[in-house]
Amino acid sequence: MEHDKRNQLILATDLDGTFIPLDGSEQNRRDLRTLADELQRRNVVLTFVTGRYPESVQQAIDYYKLPAPDWLICDVGTTILRRDADGRLHHVSEYDDALQQLVGDFSVTQLRRHMADVALVRLQSKEDQRPFKASYFVNRSRLAEAVAAVESRLTKLSAPYSIIHSVDPFSDTGLIDLLPAGVSKAFALNWWTDFTGHHHESVVYAGDSGNDLAAFTSGYRAVIVGNADRDVANQAVEAHRRAAWQNRLFLATGFATSGVLEGCRHFGLID
């Protein structure tokens, strides 16, 4: 049984701009149905890896009629949930414990207080602030400047947190997330594969933006959808070249859901 589990194929995918159909794309919606049917038929483990918070993920599942994931990695890698036999999602407390060890007594509440006077950033919604994540908006044209200012403040505080930044492809707004030091979608995915006993080689990761870059460059087989940020795609290509990884990166031509389907076929997750 354990042998079967460790060789089970896994699709770990970002949601917005990746797995979720783009507005107005009938092709994306058709490909979502194909993808859902094929993943179920092949018994592929489906893991959503997203910046959304859990309730927002459920809203997206309902609205876009997404297949129910087996696992959720939410909040840019700071929350993990599993779908149990009852069909409901439950927090994985062991992961919370691991993150708590990273930050010690330096809470996100303290962090937000120390960042309150950084002029270039403004807090995202209350729902986007999580126990191990502080999230901010910034004008895209000043994103690099804001990142430098936040990094300087983190250094001054000796805060056990690091920064991940990206651009919302729909609003063209800069996004900054402060997470426990070293934590990212890739960190969470690595922890999850170890926790569940799956092989890292069984994972195919699909994404489109800056907060997917760590996962693109962690050695997993990766699918970059056609609408992805070109700077992110170029950085991923260069990282794979430097690491001399062969056949681990697929640049899809299809946008969003269609690109995920294309990548799953390329890597043999589905026929």
Lowest mean pLDDT among 74-78, 121-125, 169-173: 169-173
pLDDT of residue 3 exceeding 90, the answer is no
Angle between helices 108-115 and 143-157 (to 10 degrees): 120
Helix intervals (H) in 130-174: 143-157
Average pLDDT over residues 133-161: 96
* pLDDT 10s digits, 41-73: 999 999 999 999 999 999 999 999 999 999 999
1 pLDDT tier (thresholds 50, 70, 90): very low
pLDDT of residue 74 exceeding 80, the answer is yes
Q: What is the pLDDT of residue 2?
A: 42
3-state SS class at 249: strand
Amino acid letter, residue 103? V
SS3 labels along 160-196: CEEEEEEECCCCCCEEEEEEECCCCHHHHHHHHHHHH
11: nearest Cα among 245, 220, 250, 236: 220
Average pLDDT over residues 236-254: 97
Q: What is the pLDDT of residue 73?
A: 98
Cα separation of 76 and 169, whole Å? 16
**Is-contact 180 196, C-beta < 8 A?**
no
Q: What is the pLDDT of residue 205?
A: 98
* pLDDT 10s digits, 80-105: 999 998 889 999 999 999 999 999 99
Q: What is the pLDDT of residue 4?
A: 55
Q: What share of the chain is helix, strand, coil (3-state, %, to 5)?
A: 45, 20, 35
Q: What is the pLDDT of residue 6?
A: 58
Cα separation of 221 and 152, whole Å? 34
Structure token pair of residue 76: 């840019």
99: nearest Cα among 164, 180, 160, 190: 180
Cα separation of 243 and 204, whole Å? 18
Q: Does the CA dihedral 55-136-180-113 come out positive or negative?
A: negative
* pLDDT 10s digits, 160-190: 999 999 988 788 899 999 999 999 999 999 9
Q: What is the pLDDT of residue 238?
A: 98
The whole-angstrom distance between residue 54's C-alpha and the CA centroid of its chain comes to 13
Q: What is the pLDDT of residue 86?
A: 87
* pLDDT 10s digits, 191-233: 999 999 999 999 999 999 999 999 999 999 999 999 999 999 9
Helix or strand run (H / E) with residue 51: none
pLDDT of residue 78 exceeding 80, the answer is yes
- DSSP class of residue 91 equals E
Helix or strand run (H / E) with residue 266: helix 256-266
Amino acid letter, residue 101? Q
Average pLDDT over residues 142-160: 96
Average pLDDT over residues 256-268: 98
Cα three-residue angle 252-257-263, rounded to 5 degrees: 35
> Phi and psi of 78, rounded to 5°?
-110, 0
- DSSP class of residue 268 equals T
**Is-contact 204 9, C-beta < 8 A?**
yes
Structure token pair of residue 192: 């999850």
* pLDDT 10s digits, 5-47: 657 899 999 999 999 999 999 999 999 999 999 999 999 999 9
Cα separation of 150 and 147, whole Å? 5
88 to 77, 118, 250, 266: CA distances (angstroms): 20, 40, 33, 32
Structure token pair of residue 235: 């950085």
